[in-house]
Amino acid sequence: MNIHDLDKETLLGVIEDFAKNWLAHDGLWFQAVEKDTDMQTAIRYDTEAWEKFTVIEAQRIMKRHNIPENSGLEGLKKALNFRLYAAINTQEIRNETENSFEFYMVDCRVQSARFRKNMALFPCKSVGLVEYAGFAKTIDPRIKTQIICCPPDPEAGHGHFCGWKFYIEE
C-alpha cells in the first residue's frame, strides 16, 4: 500500500502528520542554531530561510490551486488556507472590506505549547513580517502587510497569537 491507495480520512491524517513533522523539524533546527550561537543569530538565520521558503510555498499553492498571479486579496485569502500550518493551526479572517482584511492566528501550535508550559511566547514578530509580507507579495505585489500584533507584543496570546492586516491601496 502507498499514499495513493489511502482513503480521504487517512490522507487528512497524513497531511496533519506532515505538517506536524515539518513544524517539529523547523523548531529543532532553530533550537540547534540557538544553542550553538544565540537567539538573535538564530532569528537572523530563520528570517533568511523564511524569506525564501514563503515564496516557494506561495508559488506551489498558486500552481496547485489555480490561483493566478496578481489575484489580489481574494487570491491571498484562498492561498492562506493551503499553507502547511493551516492543517494544524486555527486561523481566521476578520474585518473584511473591499480593500483589506485582517488575518489572525487564533491557535498557533508552537505558541500554545509555550503558553501551556508558562514559557514566554516565542518572539516571532520579525520573522513573521518577512514571512507574511513575502507570501502576500508573491500572490500579488500590490498587497501590503501590516502587523496588528505578534509576539513579543503584550497583546499576543489574548484571543489570538498574531494578527496581520493585508490591504491594497487605491
Q: What CATH number corresponds to the domain at position 11?
A: 3.30.1380.20
The residue type at 107: D
How does residue 79 score in pLDDT terms, banded at 50, 70 and 90? very high
Q: Could you give the 3-state DSSP secondary structure of residue 108?
A: coil
DSSP H helices in 6-152: 8-36, 39-64, 72-80, 109-116, 125-139
Q: Report the alpha-carbon distance of residue 159 to residue 47 in Å, rounded.
A: 26
Give residues with Cβ within 8 angstroms of 26, minimum separation 6. Answer: none
Cα–Cα distance, 130 to 48 (Å, whole number): 9
Quick one: average pLDDT of 92-98?
96
Q: Which domain holds residue 67?
A: 3-167
What average pLDDT does the segment 125-149 reach? 97
Nearest to 85 by CA among 66, 112, 63: 112
Does residue 12 have a pLDDT over 90?
Answer: yes
- Mean pLDDT score of the chain: 94
Confidence of residue 142 (pLDDT cuts 50, 70, 90): very high
pLDDT value of position 146: 97
Please say if the pLDDT value at position 163 is more than 80: yes
75-93 mean pLDDT:
96
Residues 27-71 have pLDDT tens digits of 899 889 999 999 899 999 999 999 999 999 999 999 999 999 999
**Residue 114 pLDDT exceeds 90:** no
Q: How many domains does the chain have?
A: 1
The pTM for the full model equals 0.92
- At residue 155, does pLDDT exceed 90? no
Lowest-pLDDT choice from 31-35, 91-95, 129-133: 31-35
Helix (H) or strand (E) holding 163: strand 162-167
Q: How does DSSP classify residue 67?
A: -
